[in-house]
Amino acid sequence: MPPTHHTLTVRLPAAATDAELAAALTAAAALWWPGDRRRPRLWPEAVPAPAGSDAAVRRRAAEASRPVAPGHRLRAVLLRYADGEHGHRPAPDLVLTADACALDAHSLRLVARVLRGELDPDTVTPLDGPLPPDPHLDDATRRLAAALAVTAGRYTGASSVRVAVPVPAKDRPPYALGALDGYAVFTADLSPGRTVGDLLATGPAAPLTEGEEPPALGLVADAGGGAVTLPTGPGALPAPAHQVMYVREQLATSPPDTRLSALDPLSAAEGAARLALGAPDSTWRPTPLRIDAAFAAQVAARPDAPALTSGAATLTYAELDSRAEALADGLHAHGVRPGDLVGLCLPRSTDLVAAMLAVLKADAVYVPFDPEHPADRRERTARDAGLRLTVGDPAALTGHPPRPAADRRAAACPAYVIHTSGSTGRPKGVLVPHANVTALVDAVRDDFGLSPDDTWTCFHSAAFDFSVWEIWGALLTGGRLVVVDHWTSRSPEDFHALLVRERVSVLSQTPSAFTQLAAADRASRAAVAVRLVVLGGEPLDTRPLLDWFDLHPEDRCRLVNMYGITETTVHATATTVTRRQALDGSRSVGRPLPGWSVRVLDACGRPVPPGAPGEIHVGGAGVALGYLNRPSLTAERFVPDPLDPAGRRLYRSGDLGRLLADGTLEHLGRMDDQVKVRGFRIEPGEIRHVLLEDPAVSAAAVTVTGGGEGDAAAVRIDAYVVPAPGAGEDPGPVRERAARLLPAHMVPATVTVLAALPLTANGKLDQARLPAPATHRVPAAAPHEASRDSGPTAALAAVWQEVLGVEQVGRDDNFWDLGGNSLYAIRIGTLARERGLPGVRLRQLYLTPTLGALSDALAREP
């Protein structure tokens, strides 16, 4: 934004007197502004310090930064300093400050020349302005404007930056007085691939049109010498001035074909300091341990303590260890050897946890599958992983002789593989070693106060890496783990009751699930005993946490927001969320865990300035070994860490973030088209790949929309398909096939059939021209008879309409086909109870997904 005032400091002869200067100013002002009652006067001020002292410098700066009083054109302050050595009288300084709306920088120089006696006031003529500007910039001004734009773009992430540049008026009389000069706008295109030559060849700056506000970012005219300079003062620049000048030097010395991305506002020393800011804590050195070895230490310390609860059954540490040993013997009998991959497809139960431990005891690698995922998807993933064996029934592993004793591999060897979505249609298997998991637990054990007194829940699917934290966080610290069955995890009321009943003290949740649980907590009279809530898996909107803080003050229940990725072993950073942060809507995910590192780097792998956006890179103790059987993808995403003497790697997360000057990280979302859907990381490309495998589809597109204001339930996936020649136009079979190959959270809510996909001039998908998704309905003779019903069916239809955002619902409309998901199902149950209807459980929606069938089922309930 152009400055509100101009200032100029003029050194006067030592012999100049106050009376002479005051008289000259009064005479000139009377001549230039004869009808103005607020003519400027001279303000003599004594500075009790030598002219060259720090105190004098501060005083001059203070006078220069102080704006003119409202209604005044000009302020003139005469600073006289303390005598120098031998009574020498120093020269005074005249500080002139002008309202920018009354006098421009050129005019202020004319005023100074008159007061110094260099120019007769009669030769100066006041004029009304502004006059038409000359938008042509000289090379020096263009280079400075370009440097400011490049630096600002690096701090903000903008690909186009506008800079206001002061420009002289055309045909200005040499002694004209007034606000006559104007501003033009230098627009810098910083798009990828642009070069220094492109930027410096940018066309003439565009003059501001009448009434147009100049950009907030701008240069200022120097009243002292007529040059254009950077503005000064707090908040005047988005970056330190020396960084802008450093970029200006690079613009002046770099070849024209130099990419703008190669310009760096940070000096080598500043870059090194930024890298060190997110480096691992060198004082924290975990002892590499295998998971099963760390568990064995807990068994030895407290064999009779409760370890695992599922339903009414509880196993002690000794009993869980014995069960796992028996299953490990069975694995060996079935041919499992060290390093083999063993699939686990078991419901949430004591057997699931025991089987995980058994695989580790057999020195193999467990690969968890979610039994709720389609069988076809599980089979594809199993083939891709090259599994030795898949355990679906642990009974087949019992009753075998003890396996021979053998040395187990080192803690740096893989412990498990968890698959994440892949853009090529193949889920990516992430290889995570034992040492990463034990380091994670050790990194937070003291800070979180984890102890054998804690009771944890295993709420999440074993195929979701949050479960790694829940299971081993409990069992490697001597706590008790309560396994939450599938249907209880889908009912906030039932889950809340479990928390109360089991006296759970450590709870881990995705923010979207926690929002539903918090609502159930507000509605319940029973109090939970939770002392620690760990939130992760997806971005956190802190504002909804205020209601939780009302019932669970910070001194009794600690909320921790953690950021992490499967490839960096669940968590990488942590921050305690306070009421103040919730009120502020903080996006901070905190500082790196001990042993972890966080860097925010640009496209060239250099550290970005403090607070500037860049790609989050995670290093240290949690970085995985890579992707299973995907060497090229591993090399692309796992890159060398130049600061790690051990030669370990950084993981390029693909997440956008800001590393602040205090070392805290803000998470800003994804850089690519990867998205989070209710805590799960998905690649839309994988969904598109599955659609294109359908013989009835010749082209496909996938969009992910919704989720604004932190509403995870509103995130929806929509698909668009072009039928293959000879195929029908019914989207139902296409969606049904996709549902057999994709987990529920990846199945498109709608499939819209198009004659052709809209394309841009470059032949790419034009998402802006895609039509609104078509809602799939099962054909019915009377599709909207529910709207004519009275009683419970109509009331239930109204609930569906409100939650799903549809205008009409018929008896044969399917909840899932209307865009329903598990979070919407929970909302339907809550809203139904609020309106006096029977509660709708998620399991019931699966069994009776149409409105009519659900209404009839509810009517039959006692």
CB 574, CB 444: distance < 8 Å:
yes
Q: Which of 12-21, 133-142, 751-760, 817-826 has the lowest mean pLDDT?
A: 817-826
Gyration radius from the chain CA atoms: 35
Residue 662 falls within a domain, yes or no? Answer: no
The more confidently predicted of residues 486 and 301 is 301
Residue 809 falls within a domain, yes or no? Answer: yes
The pLDDT assigned to 59 comes to 92
The rounded percent of the chain whose pLDDT value lies above 90 is 48
Same domain, 24 and 121: yes
Token representation of residue 63: 């006078």
Residue 540 falls within a domain, yes or no? Answer: no
Report the alpha-carbon distance of residue 92 to residue 328 in Å, rounded: 91
pTM above 0.85, yes or no: no
Q: For residues 92-111, give the mean pLDDT.
A: 92
Report the alpha-carbon distance of residue 738 to residue 732 in Å, rounded: 10
CB 665, CB 590: distance < 8 Å:
yes
Q: Rounded to the nearest 5°, which phi and psi values hold at 641?
A: -100, 110
The rounded percent of the chain whose pLDDT value lies above 70 is 92
Q: What is the DSSP letter of 662?
A: T
Same domain, 753 and 845: no
Mean of all residue pLDDT scores within the chain: 86
Assign residue 393 the CATH number of its domain.
3.40.50.980
Q: Could you tell me how many residues make up the chain?
A: 862
Same domain, 10 and 109: yes
Number of domains the chain contains: 5
| DSSP symbols for 489-529 | HT-HHHHHHHHHHHT--EEEE-HHHHHHHHHHHHH-SSPP-
Q: Rounded to the nearest 5°, which phi and psi values hold at 627?
A: -100, 140
Same domain, 712 and 829: no
Residue 191 falls within a domain, yes or no? Answer: yes
Assign residue 718 the CATH number of its domain.
3.30.300.30
Q: What torsion do the CA atoms of 723, 724, 730, 735 make, to the nearest 10 degrees?
A: -80
Same domain, 709 and 746: yes
CB 310, CB 349: distance < 8 Å:
yes
Q: By C-alpha distance, which of 164, 136, 115, 117 is closest to 1?
A: 164
Token representation of residue 509: 């949740």
CB atoms within 10 A of CB 97: 26
Give CA angle at 180 (179, 184), nearest 5°.
Answer: 105
Report the alpha-carbon distance of residue 820 to residue 374 in Å, rounded: 18
| DSSP symbols for 746-814 | GS-SEEEE-SS--B-TTSSB-GGGPPPPPPP----SSTTGGGT--SHHHHHHHHHHHHHT-S---TT-B
Confidence of residue 667 (pLDDT cuts 50, 70, 90): confident
Q: For residues 213-238, give the mean pLDDT.
A: 82
Same domain, 86 and 156: no
Report the alpha-carbon distance of residue 216 to residue 362 in Å, rounded: 65
Residues in Cβ contact with 834 at an 8 Å cutoff, skipping those fewer than 6 apart: none
pLDDT in tens, 620-662: 999 999 999 999 999 999 998 877 767 789 999 988 888 998 8
The pLDDT assigned to 22 comes to 93
Residue 204 falls within a domain, yes or no? Answer: yes
Residue 197 falls within a domain, yes or no? Answer: yes
Same domain, 9 and 118: yes
CB atoms within 10 A of CB 606: 17
For 67, 101, 144, 241, the CA distances from 70, given in Å and listed in that order, are 9, 11, 32, 30
Same domain, 89 and 28: yes
pLDDT in tens, 66-95: 889 888 999 999 999 997 666 678 899 999
Last residue of some domain: 409, 440, 457? 409
Report the alpha-carbon distance of residue 344 to residue 324 in Å, rounded: 14
The pLDDT assigned to 403 comes to 94
Residues in Cβ contact with 767 at an 8 Å cutoff, skipping those fewer than 6 apart: 701, 703
Token representation of residue 457: 């829940």
Token representation of residue 42: 């001279």
pLDDT in tens, 712-741: 556 778 888 888 887 877 888 888 888 888
The pLDDT assigned to 572 comes to 96
Q: For residues 836-861, give the mean pLDDT.
A: 76
Confidence of residue 413 (pLDDT cuts 50, 70, 90): very high
Token representation of residue 822: 């598990």
Q: By C-alpha distance, which of 702, 694, 703 is closest to 740?
A: 694
Report the alpha-carbon distance of residue 526 to residue 239 in Å, rounded: 52
E-assigned strands of 434-493?
Answer: 455-458, 480-483
Token representation of residue 696: 């009835």
Confidence of residue 527 (pLDDT cuts 50, 70, 90): very high
CB atoms within 10 A of CB 143: 19
Report the alpha-carbon distance of residue 238 to residue 112 in Å, rounded: 32
E-assigned strands of 197-310?
Answer: 206-207, 220-221, 228-229, 306-310
Same domain, 162 and 257: yes
CB 594, CB 682: distance < 8 Å:
no
Q: What is the DSSP letter of 709?
A: G
Confidence of residue 422 (pLDDT cuts 50, 70, 90): low
Residues in Cβ contact with 621 at an 8 Å cutoff, skipping those fewer than 6 apart: 280, 286, 435, 436, 439, 440, 443, 569, 595, 596
Amino acid in position 142:
R
Report the alpha-carbon distance of residue 574 to residue 570 in Å, rounded: 11
Cis amide bond preceding 280, omega within 30:
no
pLDDT in tens, 767-808: 777 888 875 444 333 444 444 445 677 888 888 887 777 777
Same domain, 734 and 694: yes
Q: For residues 327-337, give the mean pLDDT.
A: 96
Write out the residue range of the structural domain in which residue 186 sits: 139-265
Q: For residues 246-275, give the mean pLDDT.
A: 92
Tell me the Ramachandran region of residue 465: left when phi exceeds 0, alpha when psi lies from -120 to 50, beta otherwise. Answer: alpha
Same domain, 793 and 765: no
Assign residue 77 the CATH number of its domain.
3.30.559.10
Residue 794, exposed/middle/buried by CB under 10 A (0-12, 13-18, 19+)?
Answer: middle
The more confidently predicted of residues 321 and 542 is 321
pLDDT above 60 for 507: yes
pLDDT in tens, 459-500: 999 998 999 999 999 999 999 999 999 889 888 899 999 999
Q: For residues 747-759, give the mean pLDDT.
A: 81
Last residue of some domain: 126, 157, 181? 126
Q: Strand 588-592 to strand 480-483: parallel, antiparallel, or no bridges (unpaired)?
A: unpaired
Last residue of some domain: 73, 97, 126? 126
The pLDDT assigned to 211 comes to 67
Residue 663 falls within a domain, yes or no? Answer: no
Residue 13 falls within a domain, yes or no? Answer: yes
CB atoms within 10 A of CB 43: 14
Same domain, 87 and 159: no
